Structures are given as C-alpha cells and as structure tokens.
Amino acid sequence: MNTNLKAGARAVRGILLAGAWTTLAGTLGSTAVAQEIAAELPRVEVTGSAIRRVQSETALPVEIISRAEIEKTGVTTAAEILGRVSANVNGLTDGASINVGGDQRGFNSANLRGIGTSSTLVLLNGRRMANFASPGDDSGVDLNNIPAAALERVEVLLDGASALYGTDAIGGVINFITRKDYQGLELNVYGGKTDEGGAGKRTASISAGKGELERDGYNIFAVADFQRTNALNTSQRSFIPALEVEQRLGHLLSGYTGPANIRLTSNQRDHLQELGFTINGQPITNRLINLSVPNCAPPANVYLPAGTGGVDACTYNYMGDTELYPKSEKASLLSRGVIKLGAGHQAYAEVALTRSKTWYTGSAARVTGYIDFSRVPQLAGTGLDQLDDDYPGELELRMRLNEAGQRTSELTSEGMRFVVGMNGTLGGWDYDAAFNHSVNTVKDKDTHGYVLYNELLEGIADGRINPFGPSSAEGVALLDSIQVNDVVRRARGTLDSFDFKFSRAVTPLAGGDLAVAIGGEARRERNRFTPSALLLSDNINNDAAPEGGRATSDSRNVAALYGEVLVPFAKQWEAQLSARYDHYQQVGGAASPKIGLSYRPSDALLLRASAGRGFRAPTMTELHRPTVYSATATLPDPVYCATVDNNYADCADNWDTRRYSNENLKPEKSRQFSLGAVFAAGRHVSASLDYWNIKRTNLISEIGDDIILGNLAKYGSLVYRDEDGLIDYIELRKENRGAQLARGLDLAVTVRGVDTAIGRFGGRLNGTYVLSSKIQNAPGDAFVSNLNRFVTDGVVQRWRHTVSFDWDQGPFSSSLQNTWSSGYEDQNTAINIDDGSVVAQNRVKSYSLWDLSGAYQVNSALKLRVGVQNMFDESPPYSNQAYYFLSGYDPSYTDPRGRRFYASANYTFR
C-alpha cells in the first residue's frame, strides 16, 4: 500500500473512531431521556433471537430498513433494496448476468461481507425459501422471488452463523418481513423514465386487508404487485463511447466478424507469405486475416490493429451492439390469514406466488465455420489444397451470423411458497410451529438467433450462406428454418420443512426474567435439472450440451435442534447463550455454539460482544453438478512462454477448463466474533459501532485459473497437456481448500425528529469499513487479498455507505440520499494476444450516486411522490476487468441506467 493509501485508510479509521466516541461522550448525560424512550418500546422478537424482549438492541447487531425508508428511495425490488446495504458486496445482479449462454442468468442474490452468496441466508418472515433452482457456483434465494410490495421492513442480522435460523449463514441473515394485520385497501402506481432513454419502469400494486384480530378474531391480507422494466442497449448510453473500449481494451473484443475473418493454419500463412500475398497492400503477418481490410463493414466491425483482429483482420465491437440491462416483468401475490382459535391460540397461513421473466438480448451468433478455399476468389489460385494439413484446402471461418438476428433468450424464475402454522401459549410456553412448502422453478428458453449447428455448417459449405456478404434468398430461408425456439433447460428446487420453537420466562434474576427457547427443524431439499433433448444433441450453435448428457435429480434430508437462554444476571448485564446442531444426509453434522453478552452502564449506552462457530454443508450443486466446459480469461502459460521468450502474443490464450463437483466434500467451518457499542445521545441521536471478524476453514472452492497458472510448481497437476506440451484443459474442481478471513467495522448513525422553524429534520448513515478480506487457496499458501483490489472474479471495496437526509413540514416531505463505494486497484491483467502487451494499469475511481425525492400528502387518503435517482448522472467508472462479459466497467455494483425520474401515487381506502 502506498503512502497516500495508508494515509487515507488512517484518516477514515480516525473519522469513524472519533465520531463514535464523540457520540459516546454525549450519552453520559442522557439517561433520563433514554429511559423515557425505552419505556415506550413494545416487547418484540428481533431477528437473531427466538425470545421476545423489550429492548430492540441486543448483543447481536441488526440493521433495520423500514417500509418508509424504502418508499423514499424509489426502489421497487428486493435486489434494489439490498444494493443500498453497505455490507452487501458482489451479489449477483441483472447487470452482471448479461452474457450469452451464461450460468445462472436471471439470478439476483445477496452476498453479505463478500464471502459468498451460499453463505448468506435469506428468509421470508423468519423462514427459509427454496433456492434458485438452476445449478451453478452460487446457491441462494432468488431475490426476484421476494414480493417487495408486501414488505413491512427488512432486518439484516450482521452477525453470522445464526443458531436460530441456521449456522450456514456465515455471512449473516437477511429477513424480509411482510406486512401483517393490515386493514383497508391501498393502491400504488409508479412510473419511471431515464434521461437518455431505455430502462423505463412501470409498477402497480394493490393491497387489501380485512378484520381486526383482537376485535374480529381474524385478519386476512393480500398484496398483488406487477412490474415491467424495459431493456437498455449500449447504443442508448453516451458513457459507452466515452469508455474508449476500442482504444483501451480492443483485445477484449471479438475476432468473430461479418464479413468473416479467416483463421489460417500455420502452414497456410507461411505458404501465402511465400507467394507474396498481401492485404491492404501489406504482406500478411498473422494467422487471422480478413479480405475486406481496412473497410470491415463499420460501425460494429472495425479495423483495429491493436484489437483482437490484429493488423490483418477485423475486430467486432460487441460493446456497441449489446444490452446493458435486460427487459423484465415481475409479478407477485402474497396473502396471509390469521384466525384466533381461543384459549390463547392462533392459526395462520401464508401464500406467496412470484414470477420473474427476463429477456436477454446479445449480439448476433458467433460461428466457427469451414469453407473450401476455392470458394474465395482472392485465394482460389493459391494452391492451399497442396499443403500438408489435416484438411488440405479447408479454411476456418470466424464469422458473425448477422442474418440470423441477435441471440435472444427468455429466463423465467417462478416461486411458490405455502406456510401453515399455529402459535400461542401452551402450559406457560409461547410456541410457534409451521409446515413450509417452497418451490422455485427455472425455465431457460432460446428464442431467436440460436440456430442448428450441423445444418448451418452445411449451408456455409455449399454456398447458400455467404460468410463475406449478403446470402442468397435460399440462404436466408435456411437460416429462418433452423432457428431454435426451445426451452433448453428446466430446473426445479423444492424445500419441505417443519419447524417449531417454544419459549418462556423461567425465573426472575437481578436484571429481569431468565428466559429459554428451544426449537428444531426437519426439512427435505430436492433439486432436479432437465436439459432438453435438443440441447443434449449438442446441435445448437453457441449453446453447448452439458457434460454427461443427462438430467440430474438429487435430494437430501436435513435436521436441526437449537436452544437459547437469555440470562439477565445483573441489572446491567445480559447474556445470550445459544447452540444449534445440524445434520445433513451424506455430509454429517456439527454443533455450533454461540454466546452474546451485553452491558448497559446507562440506559443510553449498550456495550455488546458475541462469539460463535458456524457450519456450512456443501450444496447439492457442489456435490453433484455435472461437469461444465468453459474457458479462462486470456492468461499466459508459463511453460509455453519459456519456449518463446515470454512473448504473450504466442503463449497467452483462453484456455479450456473443466469444472467438476465433488461428492466427497466436507462442510466448511467458521468462527466469528464481534464487539460493539450502541449509544443514545439525547432524544434525537443514536449510533452504533461494531467490529466483526470472520474466519472460514475447509473452504469449499475452486482454485482460480489465474492462481493455478501463476503457481505451476504447486498446482501443475491441475493442468492437462497434449502430446506437444500445450494446454489441453485446466481442471477446476470443488475441494475443501484453505481458509478465508474477513474483518471490518459497521457504523450506523441515526438522527430523528429534530424540530426547527423550517420543519423537522432527520438523517441516517450506514457504512461498512473493511479492514481485511483475503483467501488462502490451500493450507500453507499465502493469503491473497481482494480488499480494494479486483482478483479473479471481483473486489471488496474498503468503504461503502448509504447516507440519507430527511425533512418534513406539514403535508410536505423530502429525502436526499447518497450511496458511495470507494475506488480500488483494477484487475490489470488482460492480455493482447496480437502483440503480447498487457493492459495499462488502472485504478477504478470511487462511485457516488445521489437521489432526491419529495412527497405531498394531498389528504388522508392520497400521497404523491416525485424523485430523481442518480441526479448528477454519474456514469460507471472505467475498469479494465476481463471477468464479466461487459467490458469497460464493472457491472456487479454499478448502474448503467444513468439519471432517471419517477413519480408515484398512493391511495388508501379505510
């Protein structure tokens, strides 16, 4: 770390600690005020504990996002809500999933602390949901299956390995809590448009409820929500040309062009050089040539000597012709009913039905085709058929199939969840027990631009399809006839569970009642993946068959028991002791204890600490997923490089990989602890500062392909070579390897209800400062840090925050909000295989978005709101990352939509 970075880090730490202890000092004279506030608090159950209590702050840190706060920001989906949680890093988003034929497209996920989607537990009303069904590297709940319009609040438990919900929540727990006991009818409409066009959004919801539980003995509530977002293309955003991808990252663009590039064999190139064959008046130097150079049919196909095509061929700039944001439609229905049974008992039922459809549109298909050299007039008399090649006279084409249209696909993720249960009091014990049936189904459909490969090759070979210009009417008719319109992948995940918990106060202690809770859960998880017969035939261009050529179906049983004891052993001290035992079929089980301790030297100050252990069993995908064929980013092979004087133009390539699951995986284990303080500085200000520390061992992971090739002395056995010593493929296998460390600080400051002559003011800051984030690939290896540095697949930024400022006076109110992510060292590894150069070093700039909204309460029934998001039209900062399909910026945390305006109306009938 250079001197400026160290100074910056010290400055941020100083600000955090100074602000925290300044607030602490202000609490010492505010005991009476805090007592008054505490006396008004009802007894509640807070995420992270099964025991109801008066104080909302406990030994475990919980961030709460209210419905009012969600409305002020103008966001309408669960994924957008979590995008503003500072502890959520590198979750899966629609932007990051933009690619063609990508893995787990349409999956929106959470990722607390940046330690993995599979280690973040997402709940709906305190209970699990079925995970996104499509197999892949990540396992978790699709946030598209959360009915956002029905939410009352979101509680984020920032302390991992929950004994109550599951110790697989190593990163933490996100509990989406829906509205309950609602009465009346409420209508909401929302419309938004972007400044430059594209990505417009429209939503409508209706909520209805009847019955007051205490008076009528029942309540039934339902909310239906509908959303539609339009697609956004690169051509609609001015920041895309400003990224200068062609000039900066031409080697990340495509060598598949229209008119087609020709990939010569070494013999063919050498022979043409001997004949004095020229292109654009110059002798050819490379194996990739294009006879149209330098024209190349712009603007999509360009002559870019420093690009992938090189000096003798064309380069296709897909960043001028692809999507940045997909079209989507979301619909959800949530209904909940409660009925009093008498004698202190209630029965309840909950139904959640969701459907999210996302349409992905990519560039026209890439085709590796073949043609006899005699069909190319410029090469017809060159005698290429006389060479000692495997297929004398045959030319390999790298072409762009523009006449077939852009590749489009439709991804449908549907959720279905039914919960029935009872709660009440039995023999002095409060109880809650329920059965939960949850399903996620995913359908991935190729709709256009994907064509039958064998028939396509025949059309190219016999001349009906012209690789170098417009095809004949017969060729166009052929393309139309071989278009694929097929649901190529189906997946279904099912979770059936029964859970129960009992709690009661046992005996008075010096600080209050000693209370206990016990509970358990038994569940069955099932996953089914069914490729279509057409996909398994491996005859779809650009959509390869999964290795193994079969459907998969896996299931397992899981059982858990837990207990919790709340011990207020002194007037100012409280201990929270809990433990959980989980057992997974095939994998085994483990006990995970946890202890929390809180101390209240005054009613305005709480000091807290917690420590515990966690246990995450491998997912069924990690255990049983079929082999996946893929490829690396452009990486050098040190063995080959040693034979060519380390010329990356010769020894770097996109090497084939084979990714394997592993039936012998063992569970990950974790230990975590936290230390923190919560302060109340007078009536209006509260703050908290928490230090957290997480360590995972037996880490289930693949070693990054860049790590393997960078340390062949240790990992050379994972690189398989052919008889010539060239890389055939690299093995990426799930194993229990190494460890992961993450530690940092969470800061929260809330100011509420400050009355002035010009209105009431308030505000809130939530920020996360990460002190360390690093992974050890195997025992004994050095730890590799991804803190403020893009490594392999992403970055964990040093500091992220969301800060809001609120004002209201009479019927008027407004809110100003900022979300901010610190800058970081870029990936800086992309290689130009044409000239062997490495991308210029870059530091990605910080990213700051400001949103403003205002509301007017017309009368008791009608409320209007208008707002602008990203009001300064901040563009995603330039990045040279080569991991995501989109080039020029990092789509995992940025928003390409730019400035956008919205208006909403809420009408309530009582």
Give 43-82 pLDDT, tens digit per residue. 445 566 666 554 556 678 889 999 999 999 999 999 999 9
> Which is nearest to 321 in space by CA: 443, 449, 446, 460?
449
Query: Residues 15, 21, 24, 26: is their CA dihedral positive or negative?
Result: negative
> Which is nearest to 752 in space by CA: 661, 677, 686?
686
Query: Which stretches of 99-156 are DSSP H helices?
Result: none
Question: For residue 166, what is the DSSP state?
Answer: B
Please give the single-letter amino acid code of residue 754: V
pLDDT for res 29: 35
Tokens of 399: 């072409």
Per the CB < 8 A criterion, the answer to whether 751 and 685 are in contact is: yes
Q: Exposed/middle/buried for 4, CB within 10 Å: 0-12, 13-18, 19+?
A: exposed
pLDDT for res 38: 37
Rounded Cα distance, 460 and 481, in Å: 15
Q: Within its chain, how far is the Cα of 4 from the centroid?
A: 32
- 719: pLDDT strictly greater than 60: yes
Q: What is the pLDDT of residues 87-138, one digit of tens each?
A: 998 887 777 667 655 567 888 899 999 888 899 999 999 999 999 998 887 8
Q: What is the pLDDT of residues 350-360, one digit of tens each?
A: 999 999 999 99
Q: What is the pLDDT of residues 736-749, one digit of tens each?
A: 988 999 999 999 99
> Which is nearest to 220 in space by CA: 342, 347, 336?
336
Tokens of 260: 């087609």
Tally Cβ neighbours within 10 Å of residue 568: 20
**Which residues lie closer than 8 Å to 878 by C-beta, 6 or more apart?**
243, 248, 842, 844, 845, 888, 889
Q: Exposed/middle/buried for 434, CB within 10 Å: 0-12, 13-18, 19+?
A: buried
Tally Cβ neighbours within 10 Å of residue 643: 12
- Distance linking the first and last C-alpha atoms of the chain: 60
pLDDT for res 67: 93
Q: What is the pLDDT of residues 615-636, one digit of tens each?
A: 999 999 899 887 888 888 788 9
Q: How are beta strands 120-124 and 172-178 bridged, if at all? A: parallel
Query: Residues 207, 210, 213, 217: is their CA dihedral positive or negative?
Result: negative
- 595: pLDDT strictly greater than 70: yes
Rounded Cα distance, 134 and 343, in Å: 46
Q: What is the pLDDT of residues 648-692, one digit of tens each?
A: 878 888 899 998 889 999 999 999 999 999 999 888 999 999 999
> Which is nearest to 802 in space by CA: 849, 845, 754, 761?
849
Tokens of 183: 């009465």
Rg of the chain, C-alpha, whole Å: 30
365-398: b (≥16 Cβ within 10 Å) or e: bbbebebbbebbeebeebebeebeeeebbbbbbb
Query: Which stretches of 146-193 are DSSP H helices?
Result: none
pLDDT for res 578: 94
Rounded Cα distance, 202 and 184, in Å: 24
Q: What are phi and psi of 455, to 5 degrees?
A: -65, -35
Per the CB < 8 A criterion, the answer to whether 595 and 665 are in contact is: no
Query: Residues 824, 87, 199, 92: is their CA dihedral positive or negative?
Result: positive
Tokens of 268: 């063919």
- 458: pLDDT strictly greater than 90: yes
- pTM here? 0.90
Rounded Cα distance, 529 and 754, in Å: 56
Q: What is the pLDDT of residues 129-172, one digit of tens each?
A: 999 998 887 889 999 889 889 999 999 999 887 888 888 899 99
Per the CB < 8 A criterion, the answer to whether 839 and 830 are in contact is: yes
Per the CB < 8 A criterion, the answer to whether 852 and 814 are in contact is: yes
